[in-house]
Structure 1
Amino acid sequence: MGEELVYEVGIGLLPGIGNYLTRTLISYCGSAKQVWHSPPGKIEKIPGIGPTALNSLKHGKSVLKQAEIILAQAQKEEVQLLFYTHKNYPDRLKQIADAPTLLYYKGNCRLNQRKIVSIVGTRKCTPYGKEITEQIVKDLTKHQALIVSGLAYGIDIAAHRAATQYNLPTVGVMANGLDTIYPAVHRKIAEKMLDNGGLLSENTFGTKPDAHFFPARNRIIAGMADVTIIVESAIKGGTLITADIAHSYNKDIMAVPGAITSPVSAGCNYLIKSLKAAVYTELKDLEELLNWDLENGNSSTSKHDLHKYQAEDFTPEEFKIIRVLQEIKEEQIDTLSWKTQIPINQISSLLLGLEFKGVVKALPGKKFSLI
């Protein structure tokens, strides 16, 4: 673990500097280390930098010692620290504005697999919910999808268990530090998941599973998947929060319908009725929603038109911009900068070049989209 990682971990420990501001700073300065060593006069000119953030950087070098301690524990615990510029950081998650800049990951599966499905639901699930969850996972063996959930009671742990049973990779996203398993009763399945999957958290070692960490955890579950499937959910609670988050990210949501008399199906039925979720009754529903049924054909109507542009026709930097705009319909230039890790002073000329090539177009509000 190199010197740069010390600065990457350290910047996340500074008060007044959150995930978005961290990415902005690195976009303008070039690296975490350069953020620490840039003169205050340069830093204060960066958009969004106020007195609190400036003061944190000026007087915050003491946190680098704390960062070194975290790195040492990570090495001891065999935990990878994935800064958002790391090649193994989940690409899908990187596309959302409030994504964590640092992830703690223990496991052996790739977080950028071609197909990723999140499965969540109520802690108080019914036998019907468990049965459906197992069937969904079993059917997904056809696509060798990565199964993501939250290691919680109920639907979450049913999804993880089914994935290990059918030898699919599965990742549990936790609201606490990776040095403890919560709930403790799921320790055995969590350890088994490390053989083909892993455990993931944005929280450092020693973090307790306090209530306010769970909604933040849910955004990771929603953000790193192609689709979130809600199996059973009450009309209020964490599962619907996850659905709302996925909806705000323009991510696909599916819900399993249930009896109108069942309290744990009320949330799913509501999502379907309000058109926030597509109905899941069989694997074909998911395949048609995500166009997985077309992947072996010659159709050019893929959801994101992923094959329209070829990497060899563009510079690496140009293609980074194209890949981001394929995932997001339109994006502001500042956000494009940190998502692509191209400095703001370079991305303007790259976008102009892509405009001349007829690939992108400028929109009001300093936004750009593919043509």
Structure 2
Amino acid sequence: MKLSILEQSPISSGQDATDALRRTADLARFAETLGYTRFWTAEHHSTSGLAGSSPEVLISHLASVTETIRVGSGGVLLPQYSPYKVTENFKVLEALFPGRIDLGVGRSPGGGQTIRMALTDGVQKSMNEFPRQLSDMQGFIDGTLPKEHDYASIKASPLTSTLPKTWVLGLSSRGARHAAANSTAFMCGHFIQPDNAEEAMDAYLNNFQPSERQPEPKAAVCVFVICADTEEEAEHLAQTQDMWLLNVEKGRTTKIPTPEEAAAVTLTTEEEKKVQENRKRAVIGTPQQVKKELRRLAELYHTDEIMAITNIFDEEKKKHSFRLLADAFRRDDF
């Protein structure tokens, strides 16, 4: 089983963006020592609790402080940008770090109407353009735009001997079919919409169109994971992520609360139900419990790779969670 990490660069209570980005770089270095396959950064805008608003810039830094782990975006909000510019950004990264760059793109609008308009400098764009943008981006990456295409005469610079690997991030069968039709890898967002994940993965695998760049389908699934030495400790750590998710959904502060702040909140019946519903997006427990459940999900989704995301308050316990996870999959006694 391959293990990877999605890092949103969350800002914890009492800290700032500089702290969060330092922690992200430290985690990337740590993940490499543990043998994780890839380390992705997210793109979020107009939020006080997530520091990762520019994955391209952060990828460049993370790749420079590591040596072998693949680094990528999870993901670029393609509907808000030019496929040509996105391609050139990632080809520069590929030239700097050959064979290590993943270009993950998603159909997400990136926020409300004001954010979308700010990202496009007031130009109206439609998410319905995503299939065309994805096709154009792939054509720019490997130089396969049709002769009749408006941009067939231009090249995406720099020309490189290796190419970034394209992934489509999706939550449903629609996104999965876009990935399949364009011969890209597919990352399924179980950590956002677990109820759609099995259908999405099946849609990708059943409709995949092989190509020279991607002769076989490649799919992975992203899951919230919290791993600790005991069930009690795992539950204690999960409270800060539970409250963070609830606050995000309620439009409150998006910083990760301390355990004391999380424990001090009295939840309504509705909020308690929401916390339990959100637990379906996560795998929480001891190494043995987490490994068993992730293996079940991998079998259900027909994948050999799990991408873990962990948004808890304590930096060292977050690193310990990733250490326990990596160690669990190296063991064969459970």
TM tier, smaller: under 0.3
**TM-score, normalization: structure 2?**
0.27
Larger RCO, structure (CA 8 Å, separation 6 or more): 2
> Which protein is bigger by CA-based radius of gyration?
1
